[in-house]
Amino acid sequence: MALSPAAERETLHGRHYEFGGYRRSDGLWDIEGRIVDTKGYTFTNHDRGAIPPGEALHDMEVRLTLDNDFVIREIEATTNAGPFHMCPAIGPNYRKLIGHRMGKGWRRTLREVVGGTEGCTHITEMLGAMATVAFQTIFPILAKEGKLPQESGRPGLLNTCHAFATDSPVVRREWPDYYTGEDARKGSESA
């Protein structure tokens, strides 16, 4: 279902994300992201002067290189355009993430390692979203190749979204032992 038609309006701000996931010939994985912010009007910036409509206020890119365990083996962060001349200088600081694992607690890791003055708000925000891209890139290929570590106990995806709620039909189909819907309760009451 698409959004309803919008009222007549003027474009003031645009933010565009672009992500890609790639399998490398050396067995590692590259996850790339880019964020571009533009305005629909000309405005003046102290460091850059007049910035016309459509010219990037922010244009940042990140390439993460991960192994099969989602451990960061390499990272490159660049600022192609930023509001201040000093913005590109923070890119190398993201190398502090090498050796950290993307997974549960990833956003907390970002806050602790490159949060606040240790990073760039926009790059760090983008890295949060890149975890999902990494999962959607790597997980299906490892599953198809039978290389996923065996999950023991409760599946980690349970209750992480509406579809994976323990009372959903998806959980009933995929993980019936963890299904808690009405028909599961009725079945256990009659047993």
Q: What is the pLDDT of residues 42-72, one digit of tens each?
A: 999 999 999 999 999 999 999 999 999 999 9
Predicted pLDDT at 73: 98
pLDDT per position as a tens digit, 85-123: 999 999 999 999 999 999 989 999 999 999 999 999 999
Tokens matching residue 24: 């490398």
Confidence of residue 187 (pLDDT cuts 50, 70, 90): low
The dihedral region occupied by 159, where left means phi > 0, alpha psi between -120 and 50, and beta the remainder, is: left
Per-domain boundaries in the chain: 13-144, 150-191
Question: Above 60 in pLDDT, residue 10?
Answer: yes
> Does 151 have pLDDT greater than 80?
no
Please check the confidence at residue 150 and state whether its pLDDT lies above 70: no
**Model pTM?**
0.86
pLDDT(191) > 60? no
Residue 30 makes CB contacts below 8 A (sequence gap 6+) with: 21, 22, 24, 63, 64, 65, 66
The pLDDT of residue 189 is above 70: no
CA distance 151 to 144: 16
